Amino acid sequence: MDKNHLQHQLDMKRSLLDQGYLDEQFIQLEELEDDDNPNFVEEMVTTFYANSARLLQNIEQALGSRPIDFTKLDNYMHQFKGSSSSIGATRVQKECTLFMEYCEAANAEGCIRTFRQVKQEHASLKTKLEDYFKLARQGGPSAGGQAGR
Amino acid sequence: MNPSNGKGSIATASSSGAWKVGDVVPDQFPAGLRVLVVDDDPTCLVILEKMLRACLYAVTKCNRAEIALSLLRENKNGFDIVISDVHMPDMDGFKLLEHIGLEMDLPVIMMSADDEKNVVMKGVTHGACDYLIKPVRIEALKNIWQHVVRKRKNEWKELDQSGSLEDGDRQQKPSDEVEYSSSANEGNWKSSKKRKDEEEDIEDRDDTSTLKKPRVVWSVELHQQFVAAVNQLGIDKAVPKKILELMNVPGLTRENVASHLQKYRLYLRRLSGVSQHHSSLNNSFISAQEATFGSMSSLNGLDLQTLAVTGQLPAQSLATLQAAGLGRPTAKSGIPMPLVDQRNLFSFENPKPRFGEGQQQHLSSSKPVNLLHGIPTTMEPKQLANLHQSAQPLGNMNVQVNAHGGHSSSLLMQMGQTQSRGQILNESAGSHVPRLPSSVGHPAISNGIAGGVIGINGIGDNSRGIGYNQVRPTSSMLSFPMNHTSELASNSFPLGSTPGISNITPKGAFQDEINSEIKGSTGFGASYDIFNDLHQQKSQNWELHNVGLQFSASQNANRLQGNLDISPSVLVRQGYSSSQTSGQNRNVSDIGRAVFSGVESTQQGNTQIIGQQLNNFLVDNSVRVKAESIPDAGSQSILFPENNFGQEDLMSALLKQQQGGIAPAESEFDLDGYSIDNIPV
């Protein structure tokens, strides 16, 4: 495997961690990778994004309805937050927490505003992870796994 | 999902209960620990699975709570621990927690992204053994085995005390269900104390192979002996030691008797207190059917509903049952009647073997059948047998509730207790079941039970499966009007026509019901399942009987409101299944036990414990009865398999009962599922 490549991958990961996009959870996931599941993390992230898109849509709809059902919103966001936390999406989680606080306060405007941020973080992380995995794949068969260790 | 045993295959053996009394933990432990993880989020679910596998556990994942429950039910001893998310769309995680606690008594770990104190506290109060905050790290998962060990240790400890541990390994087996259910129920609700009791019952356990702890099975005969001894000494003066001496049963320890006595006392108390509770109960469960899990009363109503829902129970039956069970025409007012009658049933029915008890033994072999504590169980096996036979319709009905054949009987039995029980039980073989002590009270009980059962049956339609939710809130039917004593004698007792509910053929179906019933709030739905199962099973009225009984019993037990609480039904179910599997004897006891356990577990609220006790008894009894009669259950499978069998029978029994004048008035029963009639007095 290309050492530079691996290094590059590691650096990228380090940067994501430092910037708070990802946290320890992500590292743990990478550690779970083994020969049987060499692309486990990537698969998980893909699953996450597929599932979270649906959740976000639910939230979007709930936000659009009048009157706003804050309890429902809270539930949806709770699910979304849990899901995000499972892959270590820290920034996304933070926005989720903020959103839920607004829900509790029944602050529609705050919710709408925060939701935009949630989506933003969600999308931006997606891009970064895509780059990361691309790099990992290019690095060699077990580049991804190794990069995690 | 299929249990992933990849890594855990080894461990399976060890974890499956190979533990002996001595609590020796297998070497490979915790590797192979069988974990069931439930979470609606696919990402979390897969990640958890991966992590658990990394810990060398045997993981099964599930994204729906209902599926998880059915998995657990079908595989009573198939898992060691459950990890569940709190927020799930189809069922609240806490509700699932309760169900599991009642029915299976497995350690449950809750998890959520929510770390708010009140939510965590909720987990504690609902009995979770741990609470993890998401994202769950692997380190947190590495140590979950401690909860399994701890629980087992507690159970073993109890067994040890009784000195009857005999077969630590007995449990493995087919009786797993029974034990499981009973222990499950027990453990949860009253605090592992009850569990102890059940475990001490080793008596008729056929095969405790699956069970991890040796449990004394309080068969009908045994229970009868117990009741006879208690009566001889006088309920107030009856101390375990003396009872033990009087009973003179080899292998039985003082602890076994003590725990059984405790249950019996609760049962009696419940009977007497039932009337007062009834009204409140009825109301509560009627309206609160879905009430919280702990509210047993609602269970009753629910049970009926579920029964009815399952289709087994015709709407009218349901209504009748409800009314009967509730004691009121509108199913609203508490069922003062039934309660009172119940009491009578119990009291005079002494001779009648406490169905629940006797059955319990069978059913839940592991759990002491004490359900019937209070019931003058002198169940006579013969009576049971008779009941069983004649009371077919009843039996069926009841059985259904019991879900496994054994259950229904117990339910019915409980209601009618003693008489019917014997009858119900008799059906199958008289071996275990005869417990239906119902002799006297049966008639009435049967009715009650029948009524209740019917309701239950309705729920239990075979096809139903464990649909808990089906239970219609209105079903308070389960409350089987225990008062029916008189009726039971003759007809009402579906179980087998004999006053006892011997027909409880709780075949597998019953078990389901029970399980569901036990659940408590959803219990209703649960019972529903049981009924279904019972019906399916076939059988004979017994099932119906059981079902009814169980149902109410369990419901009541769960509800705790004072009614029988579903627990009994739950118990019944459990016992039921086991009994079914092992063959008659077992079934019955299992069911009974199951019911009992269910009841106990549901007791969470404990106030209702008394009611539960009853239920338990009933349930157990009913269950037991069924077990005997339902030979088909034969499968050793654990509780569930038989469901099919019982359900149909139960339903028919129930229906018949209704027509027969059993008067679904089981409303008196109000047992949430446990149909007081079943009280194996």
pLDDT one-digit tens code per residue, B527-536: 344 444 444 4
Contact criterion met (CB < 8 Å) for A82 and B40:
no
State the nearest Cα–Cα gap between B135 and chain A, in angstroms: 5
Query: How confident is residue A81, by pLDDT bands cut at 50, 70 and 90?
Result: very high
Name chain B contacts of A85, Cβ cutoff 8 Å.
113, 134-135
Give the residue extent of every domain in chain B.
Answer: 34-158, 220-271
Is pLDDT above 60 for B87?
yes
pLDDT at res. B25 = 57
Whole-number average pLDDT of chain B: 54
Query: Please, what is the angle between helix B254-288 and helix B240-247, to 10°?
Result: 110
Q: Which CATH number fits domain B34-158: 3.30.300.30, 3.40.50.2300, 1.10.10.10, 3.40.50.1000?
A: 3.40.50.2300
pLDDT at res. A115 = 94
| Lowest-confidence region among A79-83, B59-63, B125-129, B444-448 | B444-448
User: What integer is the mean pLDDT of B516-541?
Assistant: 40
Q: Which B residues in the span 55-84 are in contact with A, Cβ-Cβ below 8 Å?
A: none
Contact criterion met (CB < 8 Å) for A29 and B47:
yes
The pair of structure tokens assigned to B226 is: 């117990």
The pair of structure tokens assigned to B336 is: 């003062």
Q: Does A59 touch chain B (CB under 8 A)?
A: no
| Lowest-confidence region among B16-20, B231-235, B248-252 | B16-20
Q: Does B87 touch chain A (CB under 8 A)?
A: yes
Q: Which B residues in the span 124-183 are in contact with A, Cβ-Cβ below 8 Å?
A: 134-138
CA nearest to A47 within chain B? B43
User: What integer is the mean pLDDT of A135-139?
Assistant: 80
Is pLDDT above 80 for B59?
yes
Q: How many CB pairs under 8 A join A and B?
A: 59
pLDDT at res. B649 = 52
Q: Does A47 touch chain B (CB under 8 A)?
A: yes
pLDDT at res. B269 = 76
Give the best-scoring range by mean pLDDT among A5-9, B321-325, B430-434, B577-581: A5-9
Between B504 and A89, residue with greater pLDDT? A89
Out of B43, B85, B112, whose CB is closest to A87?
B43
Contact criterion met (CB < 8 Å) for A40 and B50:
yes
Q: Does A11 touch chain B (CB under 8 A)?
A: no
State the nearest Cα–Cα gap between B41 and chain A, in angstroms: 7
Q: Does A58 touch chain B (CB under 8 A)?
A: no
pLDDT at res. A47 = 92
pLDDT at res. A138 = 80
Alpha-carbon dihedral sign for residues B132, B607, B477, B380: positive
Q: Does A79 touch chain B (CB under 8 A)?
A: yes
Q: Does A90 touch chain B (CB under 8 A)?
A: no
Among residues B661, B651, B663, which one has the least CA distance to residue B310? B651
Residues B358/B680, Cβ–Cβ less than 8 Å: yes
Out of B54, B87, B135, whose CB is closest to A86?
B135
Residues A42/A26, Cβ–Cβ less than 8 Å: no
Contact criterion met (CB < 8 Å) for B43 and A24:
no
pLDDT one-digit tens code per residue, B159-217: 777 654 444 444 444 444 444 444 444 444 444 444 444 444 444 444 444 444 556 66
pLDDT at res. B527 = 39
Question: Left if phi > 0, otherwise alpha if psi is -120 to 50, otherwise beta: which for B24?
Answer: beta
Output DSSP code: residue B299: H
Between B267 and A81, residue with greater pLDDT? A81
Contact criterion met (CB < 8 Å) for B42 and A51:
yes
Fold (CATH) for B220-271: Arc Repressor Mutant, subunit A (1.10.10)
User: What integer is the mean pLDDT of A55-65?
Assistant: 92
Q: Does B115 touch chain A (CB under 8 A)?
A: no
The SS3 assignment for B561 reads coil
User: What integer is the mean pLDDT of B432-457?
Assistant: 38
CA nearest to B50 within chain A? A32
Name chain A contacts of B135, Cβ cutoff 8 Å.
25, 82, 85-86, 88
pLDDT > 90: percent of chain B: 9
Contact criterion met (CB < 8 Å) for A25 and B41:
no
Q: Does A26 touch chain B (CB under 8 A)?
A: no
Q: Which B residues in the span 18-47 are in contact with A, Cβ-Cβ below 8 Å?
A: 40-44, 46-47
pLDDT at res. B501 = 37
The pair of structure tokens assigned to B291 is: 């009430």
Q: Does A24 touch chain B (CB under 8 A)?
A: yes
* Chain A interface, best mutation among B40, B46, B47, by max A CB count within 10 A: B47
Fold (CATH) for A3-136: Four Helix Bundle (Hemerythrin (Met), subunit A) (1.20.120)
Is pLDDT above 70 for B134?
yes
Answer yes or no: is the ipTM higher than 0.95. no
Query: How confident is residue B656, by pLDDT bands cut at 50, 70 and 90?
Result: low
Alpha-carbon dihedral sign for residues B669, B671, B673, B679: negative
Out of A32, A51, A87, whose CB is closest to B50?
A32
Contact criterion met (CB < 8 Å) for B113 and A81:
yes
pLDDT one-digit tens code per residue, B451-496: 333 333 433 343 333 333 333 444 334 333 344 333 433 343 333 3
pLDDT at res. A149 = 45
- Encoded amino acid at B246, one letter: L
Between B539 and B267, residue with greater pLDDT? B267
Give the best-scoring range by mean pLDDT among A105-109, B245-249, B407-411: A105-109
SS (H, E, C) B443-512: HHHHHHHHHHHHHHHHHCCHHHCCCHHHCCCCCHHHECCHHHHHHHHHHHCCCCCCCECECCCCCHHHHH
Residues B574/B364, Cβ–Cβ less than 8 Å: yes
User: What integer is the mean pLDDT of B353-364?
Assistant: 41
Give dist(CA B240, CA B226) in Å, integer. 10
The model's pTM is 0.43
Name chain A contacts of B87, Cβ cutoff 8 Å.
75, 78-79, 82
pLDDT at res. B161 = 74
pLDDT > 70: percent of chain B: 28
User: What integer is the mean pLDDT of B264-280?
Assistant: 63
pLDDT at res. B215 = 64
CA nearest to B133 within chain A? A82
User: What integer is the mean pLDDT of B55-77?
Assistant: 91
Give dist(CA B241, CA B253) in Å, integer. 9
Is pLDDT above 90 for B37?
yes
Q: Which residue has the tokens 């003062």?
A: B336
CA nearest to B88 within chain A? A79
